[in-house]
Chains A and B, each alone.
Chain A
């Protein structure tokens, strides 16, 4: 399992959170319980299985929703 912290562009609409949350949770290999979209700090935190999924795929899912990614960090759990 890996823990990813993804810094997004500033989030302004609360419905963004729902969208990002659903998009990320839909990915195979994401620990659904761990997904957190932080509105004020504009960050996404989640744990994922690096055998099934890569950070690039997670980033793509978020950019496909129309949100820019500033920086992402992955750490082994």
Chain B
């Protein structure tokens, strides 16, 4: 019975609205007070039923909820035979709840769209070799799955057979479908646009990249900042306090009307709902635009950022460096290049990849005793020779003599904005390579936008030589450039800035910069579906799209502002209402409830504006 009444709340609101209309037409049109009174009594009794049930359920677990206040207030109104107010208040309360539900669903829609993209079923190979449709929860790591054209890839996996094009927009934001063949990785939540593939499941459920993104966003929308936790605690005591206050007023004044009016006016609705609504709308907007914000604490911190520190490679630049200049100090460059390719083949450092690409096909030698010198390079034995490749620091460490000609070349290469890679064999310098990366298109404009949004310092921190870094800084109009920085130097420099009282954001690729990402007030990762980046950072820019950074900053500023407005509206309405009970003649329960419900709708609608936020 209780459940039935609660599930028909919206119908009840409609019926009581009709009864109220009948009552007033009865009185105004036919001067019939009987119809008037009885219609209103039935409207209030009907309307109070679901509210009273909720109040009873709350009291059972010792919570004084808004329903309790309203039920007592309506009871009081009955006591003094003010059926008109009782009917209108219950109707407004129910109708308000209906509108709140509708509008709240809207503010949450952006995130819902995301979670609904999660795959639900999969075609799994059974023991008899046939494929059968199963729930995605029933897929385990190692299962073989069939994905047909138009279907969602159910898990993260590797293609076993078949070929096709996969739309990975849900993971990377990249709209152009990616080609997949045997051995390619595919991700849960992406869509196979054509072809048929069989995959083996590598990661399932919440462990998939898509699962992690969803979990992150879902947790973010409900994460609470300090202000919110304070409001929560406050409202726990606030509602009982209103009850006590109203009771005291009644004791002193013996005025039931006044006491029940206070009960209605004191409802804290807009205050409790205001901040979560802004939060969910702001994070929802971000999710739609490829910016993952990890909660309201992050929003507050980033909206107040003073300094943004950038990693260079892969962030300001495309991250696909190419060998631009070479100089040899040997008569047999081919042999040196072969050794070099053999060593660099084993590394996944971006500079190593550039070198391997530059050298192309060549004879490869076995490599032994490889020693990776952090922030320096690699020392190894190749074909029986001692071999070192790395930067100038490494060469000095290994006591390689750099003659005048070499020093001149180094200076010349650096001036052009090259990263330097020196190669030495058996203690002698053999080759110098200058490797350059291109600046991402549009970065300059994006940085201008950040400045306009109030960021004071834009700093580049890079492991590259100072010359290269200076060149980039000059070209992009950065305020400061620091080269020759190891990951721990970057972190130390960020700590230094923080000690000066600055709020610092660091933006990097998330793999080797995790100390800085963790230390900065806001760690921003350029993520192209890598979960390391998703886990260590506070904000993720999907598809490594730098141009989303200004949107992210503008959005957090708008969201933080929106939260402040909502708190102001909520507190303002309660203060004005309570003050006018004592100071004015016109205030009564119905007006109070109207203002109260209206203020809730206003904060929701205000929050909803964030869904449409765009950086101008």
Residues of chain A whose beta carbon lies under 8 Å from any beta carbon of chain B: 10, 12-15, 18-19, 22-23, 26, 36, 38-41, 43, 63-66
Looking at the complex, which one of A18, A26, A36, A63 makes contact with B65 (CB distance below 8 Å)? A18
Quick one: which of B57, B104, B221 contacts A65, CB cutoff 8 A?
A: B57
Q: Residues of B contacting A22 with CB < 8 Å?
A: 61-63
* CA of A64 to CA of B3, assembled, Å: 9
Let me know if B97 and A19 touch, CB within 8 A: no
- For B262-295 the 0/1 string (1 means CB < 8 A from A) is 0000000100110010011000000000000000
Interface set, chain B 48-84, CB cutoff 8 A to A: 53-54, 57-58, 61-63, 65-67
Q: Which residues of B contact A10 (CB under 8 A)?
A: 101, 104-105, 108
- The answer for the CA separation of A23 and B58 in the assembled complex, in Å, is 9
Measured CA separation A54–B58 after assembly (Å): 23
Q: List 12 A-B contacts (CB under 8 A).
A: A13-B66, A14-B273, A15-B67, A19-B57, A22-B62, A23-B61, A38-B221, A40-B108, A40-B111, A40-B276, A41-B222, A66-B6
Which of A38, A64, A66 contacts B54 (CB under 8 A)? A66
**B456 in the interface, Cβ–Cβ < 8 Å?**
no
B412 at the interface (CB under 8 A from A): no
- Contacts A19-B65, A66-B3 given; does A13 touch B57 at CB 8 Å: no
When A12-B101, A12-B104, A18-B65 are in contact, do A40 and B235 touch as well, CB less than 8 Å? no
- Contact A15 to B218, CB < 8 A, known contacts A39-B276, A40-B111, A66-B3: no
Most buried by B among A15, A23, A65: A15
- Beta-carbon contact of A19 and B66 below 8 Å: no
With the chains together, A75 CA to B161 CA distance in Å? 33
Q: Is B143 among interface residues, defined by CB-CB distance under 8 A? A: no
CA–CA, A72 and B478, complex, Å = 51
Interface residues on B, range: 20 to 34
Whether B222 and A40, one on each chain, are in contact in the complex, defined by CB atoms closer than 8 angstroms, is yes
A13 — which chain B residues lie within 8 A by C-beta?
65-66, 97, 100, 269
A66: chain B residues within 8 A (beta carbon): 2-3, 6, 53-54, 57
B280 contact from A14, A19, A40, Cβ within 8 A: A40
Residue of A nearest to B108 (CB): A40
Chain A residues positioned under 8 Å from B272 (CB to CB): 14-15
Taking the complex as formed, is B31 at the interface, i.e. its CB lies under 8 A from any CB of chain A?
Answer: no
Q: Is the CB of B101 within 8 A of A19?
A: no
List residues of chain B with CB within 8 A of the CB of A64: 57
CB <8 Å contact, B65 and A41? no
A13 to B597, CA, bound (A): 12
**Residues of B close to A63: CB separation below 8 A:** 3
- In the complex, chain A residues whose CB is within 8 Å of the CB of B111: 40-41
Q: How far is the CB of A41 from chain B (nearest CB, A)?
A: 5
List which B434-463 residues lie within 8 A (CB) of chain A. none
CB pair B222 A38 closer than 8 Å: yes
Which A residue sits closest to B137, measured CB to CB? A73
**CB nearest to A23 among chain B residues:** B61
Query: Is B182 on the interface with A (CB-CB < 8 A)?
Result: no
Whether B385 is near chain A, meaning CB under 8 Å from some CB there, is no
A38 to B101, CA, bound (A): 16
A4 to chain B, nearest CB (A): 14
Known: A15-B63, A19-B63. 15 other contacts (CB 8 A): A13-B66, A14-B235, A14-B269, A14-B276, A15-B58, A15-B67, A19-B58, A22-B61, A39-B222, A40-B222, A40-B276, A40-B280, A43-B218, A63-B3, A64-B57
Bound complex: CA A15 to CA B100 (Å): 14
Query: Which residues of chain B come closer than 8 Å to A14, judged between CB atoms?
Result: 235, 269, 272-273, 276
- Taking A12-B97, A18-B65 as contacts, is the C-beta distance between A40 and B279 under 8 angstroms? yes
Closest to B239 in A: A15
Most buried by A among B58, B61, B66, B100: B61
Q: What 7 pairs across the A-B complex have the smallest Cβ distances?
A: A14-B272, A15-B65, A22-B61, A38-B222, A40-B221, A40-B280, A12-B101
Within the assembled complex, what's the spacing in Å between the Cα atoms of A54 and B32?
Answer: 58
Give every chain B residue within 8 A of A18 (Cβ-Cβ): 58, 63, 65, 236
**B25–chain A nearest beta-carbon distance, Å:** 32
Q: What are the residues of chain B within 8 A of A36 when measuring CB–CB?
A: 222
